[in-house]
Chains A and B, each alone.
Chain A
C-alpha cells in the first residue's frame, strides 16, 4: 500500500466520523462528543497549515484527561456506555496523530463500529437511517483514501460508496433472513444511560399523573382474536400490596421473584398462583418499547406466554431481562378467569395490612359502613356510589396532600388522578376487612385504523384496585371509572379535556382530532409498527415461519439451494453492472472515420503500433504498401486537418467519412480496386 494518505481523504474521514459520532451525543454526557469536535478543529488547522501537530506530551495529556473523565463520569469502564464513550474519544483523538494509512484504517473501522453501536441505543427507523448515512460516509472515506484525486470520468467517493452499499443490499437481506438467531453467547453490560420509563414499583400520589403528561409510546398490541371492549383493556403490570401511609410498593417477595427471573430461573413464583378458567380467552402479541424495567403487561390471567417471561405469584408477567430494547412477546389470556380462588392466610394478612396511625377518618368511616352493610359487595357498591355522588374531580394536576394522604383527599381536596382514587379506595377496603391491593399498568389503547393493532401510550398509565371476594377471587374495581367514566370508555383525552398533554403543545397525540394529523400519525405509526414487527422482532420463530412459507418447507438442502440461488443472482447483477456490455463512448465523427480506416488496415495485417502517430503511420503504410499510399495519406491529412486545424473547410468531414467508409484495405491489397476511384 502506498505510504501516503491522499490529502482530501482527511476531510472525508473527519466528516464521516462527525456523522457517526453526532447521534451518540443524544445518550452521552455532553463533554464526550466535545473531545472529537476539539480534535477535528485542531486537525483542520493542521490541514490548513496553520497549526502544528500536537506534540506527544499534549496528545498524552488529552488521552489521559479524557479517559480519566470517562472513568469519573461512569465510575466504571466496564459497560456499554463507557465503552462507546471511549471509542468516540479514541476516534476523535486518532485524527490528531493520523499520518500513515494504518491509522486511517483504524479510524475507519472504529467509525464502522460506532455507526452500528448506535443501534444498541436507538432502533427507530429514523435513527437506523441516520446510522446508515454514517456507514455510507465511512465507506466513502474508505474509498477516498484508495482513490486518486477526483477527475472527470471517475466516480466521486460518495457515489462509489453508495453504489457498493446498494450492490451489497441483496446479500444483506439474504443473510438477514437466513442467519440463525442464536441465543446470546454471554451476557453483555447493557446501557445504563437510557431513562427508565413507565410505572415504577412504588406509587406515591402524583406518580401516575406524571406519566399522564407523556405522549411516548409504551407498547403496541395486535390481537389475533377480536379486540376486547375498551373498558376491558386493563393491562396489569405491577401489584402493589404494601402501604406505608403515603406510598404503595411491591412487597419483598415480589422483588425476589423479579430477581429470580433475571437470573433465568424457570419457576419464580413464591407460591404457584391458582386460578379457575373462565373460558374467555384471547390471543395477542405485544411489542414493548424499551422501558429499562422488567415488567410486561398482560390482560387477565396469562394461560400461555413466551419463554422470555415468568409468572409471579400475583399473576403479573416478569421479563427475564431488563427491557432495554424493543421486546416482543405473545400471550394467550383468559379474561374471565377466577384469580386465586383460595386465599392463603399469609397472603390475606398481607393484603389487609394498614399502617397504624394514618388516615383515621377514612378507616373509621370504612369500619362504620362495613358494619352497616350486610356483605362485602354491598359495602363496595356503597363506596363506589359515594364516589359518584360526591363532588370528586378527575384531574392531572392534583393539589399536594398532607401526612394523611387518604383523609386529605377524601374529605378535603377531592381532586385527584387515578392513583389518588386507587389508593383511597384500597385503604377503605382494607379498613373494612376486605383484602385489597393496588394494581398499576395501563388502561385502554388507541386503535390504528390501517392495521389491526392498538397503541398504548404513557398517558394511558393507570392505577386501580383489586379486592378479594370469596368465590370470585380477585375482582377488579376502578374508583376512577366511578368518578370519570369517560376515562375508561374512551381514554384520557376525553376525560380531562384541555389538561390533556397541555405541557407539550407539539405532541401529535394532542391534535388527534384534526383529521390530517390523525392520518399522518396513524400512517407513520403503522410504518414504525411494521418496522418493529418485521425487522426488530424477527426471531427464530418468525424466521422458521417465514422460510417455511417462502420455500414451502424447511430442509437444509432446500435452504442451501435457495441461498446459493439468491446469492448467485445477487452477485450476477453486480457482475453484469461491472462487466456487462455498455454503450461505446461517443467519438467525434472525424475520429470515428479515421479509426475505421485503422481497423480495416489492421484487418489487412497492418495495425497501427502503440504510440504511433497518424502521420508516422501513414508514412509507414506508404512505404510498406505504396498502392495504398494515396488513399491513406488523403484520409490521414483530412483527419489531421479536422482535428487540429482551426479553420474548418466545408465538406471536409463528409469527404473523410465517405472515403473511410469505402476504404477496403484488404480488397485493395489483393488487387481488386474498386471500380469508382475515390476523389480526394
Chain B
C-alpha cells in the first residue's frame, strides 16, 4: 500500500472512530430506546432532490408565463414537502425500540435478533426499515398504540459474543421525498457457540475421569419420584401420563449416579489441531453427550465445570467454549 493509501485509510479510520464516539455520546447504548428529536435525523432523499428540480421548473414556468395558478401549484407542492418533513419524522418519532433476549447460535448459523417496536405516540407507523449493518433488512408497521416484533437475521461466522453494532432504522414514508433515520445502539449481544466438529469420536476412556465410566443407558438409573417441570428438563422425562390426567407438567426423577460421568478435557483434544478445532470438537462432544443424557463435566485451561446433565449444563458448557480465550466483553461484529 502506498503512503497515500495508508494515510487515507488512517484518516478514514480516525473519522469513523470520531463519528462512532459522537454517535455513542448522542445515542448511547441501551436496552430500550425511545426515538425522539435527538436521535432521529432527516434529509431529502435522492427523489427529494429531484423534486426540488421539479419545483424549480414549475416556478420558472409560473414566472415566465406570469401564471398565478402555476405559482399556486408550485407553492402547494413546496408546502407539501415541508409538511412531509414533519410526517416523515413523526413516522419514526414516538417509537420505543427494544431487543428481546437473543438465543445463542452456533458459529456459521444466523443469529436472530427480535426487535420489538411499540408506539408511544398513539400514531400509526408505516413502512419502517430495520437492519443491522451486515444483515438483511426487515420491514415493520404498527397501528396506533400497537406493537411489532421483527426478526432480524445476522450471520454469526465466529464464536464468541456477537455484537450487532448499531441498528439502522429508516423510513421514507409517506412520500419518499425525505429519509428519516436513526442509528440505535442496543446493549445486546448474541452468544455464538463454536461450530460443532463434523467428526470426532467420544473419548471413552478419558484422561482425568478416573472414577467414572460412560453409560448411555438412562434406564440404568432408578426412578425416585415426581417434581414440577422446570425449563431445561429433558422432554423424555416428562410424566405425560399425569399430564393427561389434567395435572400440571411433571418430571419423573431418577436417582443419578454421580460416579457415572465423563470428563471432557481440553488436554484430550490436542490431536484435533488449533484452538478453534479443539473447541469445535469439545462442542460436538457436549452435544452428543447431552443428547444421550449422559452426565459430563468440562475442563478448560481456565474453567472447570462440574459434571451434570440437562439443558442448563449444556448451555453452561457451550458458553464456556464460546468465550474461551477471548477478552472479556467479547468481539464485535
Contact = CB atoms under 8 A, between A and B. Distances in A.
21 contacts: A1-B176, A2-B129, A105-B50, A105-B176, A113-B54, A116-B61, A117-B61, A131-B73, A146-B172, A167-B79, A168-B83, A172-B72, A172-B79, A175-B78, A176-B71, A184-B64, A188-B61, A325-B67, A585-B122, A610-B100, A610-B116
B84 to A, nearest CB: 7
Nearest to A536: B68
Given A120-B61, A146-B127, A538 B79 contact: no
Contacts of B84: 164
A507 B300 CA distance: 101
Interface in B28-52: 45, 47, 50-51
A153 B147 CA distance: 13
A536 B69 contact: yes
Contacts of A169: 76, 79
A148 B100 CA distance: 25
B129 A146 contact: no
Interface string B57-77: 110110111111111111111
Nearest to B69: A119
B45 A1 contact: yes
Given A2-B129, A142-B176, A116 B58 contact: yes
Contacts of B79: 167-172, 175
B69 A535 contact: yes
Interface string A152-171: 11110000100011011111
A182 B68 CA distance: 12
Contacts of A152: 143
A109 B57 CA distance: 11
A151 B126 CA distance: 11
Contacts of A109: 50-51, 54
Given A148-B141, A171-B78, A142 B175 contact: yes
Interface residues on B, range: 35 or more
Which 5 interchain pairs have the tightest Cβ spacing? Answer: A168-B79, A171-B79, A153-B143, A175-B75, A119-B69
B126 A148 contact: yes
A352 to B, nearest CB: 43
Contacts of B243: none
Interface of B: 45, 47, 50-51, 54, 57-58, 60-61, 63-80, 82-84, 86-87, 90, 93-94, 98, 100, 114, 116, 121-124, 126-127, 129, 137, 139, 141, 143-146, 149, 172-177
Interface of A: 1-2, 101, 105, 109, 112-113, 115-117, 119-120, 123, 128, 131-132, 135, 139, 142-143, 145-148, 151-155, 160, 164-165, 167-172, 175-176, 179, 181-182, 184-188, 325, 535-538, 571, 574-575, 578-579, 582, 584-585, 610-611
B123 A185 contact: no
Contacts of A123: 67, 69
A146 B63 contact: no
Given A164-B174, A610-B116, A139 B70 contact: no
Contact of A187 (B47, B64, B100, B144): B64
Contacts of A611: 100, 114, 116, 149
Contacts, number: 172
A119 B126 contact: no
A167 B146 contact: no
Please report whether the interface of chain A is mostly helix, strand, loop or mixed according to DSSP.
Answer: helix
Contacts of B127: 146-148
Nearest to A581: B122
Contact of A154 (B60, B129, B141): B141
Contact of B176 (A145, A175, A186): A145
A539 to B, nearest CB: 8
A163 to B, nearest CB: 9
A164 B83 contact: yes
B86 A574 contact: yes
Contacts of B66: 181, 184, 325
B124 A153 contact: yes
A610 B175 CA distance: 32
A87 B139 CA distance: 35
B124 to A, nearest CB: 5
A143 B127 CA distance: 11
B228 to A, nearest CB: 11
A237 to B, nearest CB: 23
A584 B122 contact: yes
A146 B80 contact: no
A582 B119 CA distance: 13
B176 A582 contact: no
A144 to B, nearest CB: 10
Given A2-B139, A181-B66, A176 B72 contact: yes
B175 A171 contact: no
A146 B174 contact: yes
Contacts of B144: 153, 585
Given A123-B69, A175-B79, 14 more contacts: A1-B176, A109-B50, A116-B61, A116-B73, A117-B61, A139-B80, A142-B174, A154-B143, A164-B174, A172-B75, A185-B63, A578-B87, A578-B123, A610-B98
Nearest to B51: A109
Nearest to B172: A146
Contacts of B122: 582, 584-585
A201 B253 CA distance: 114
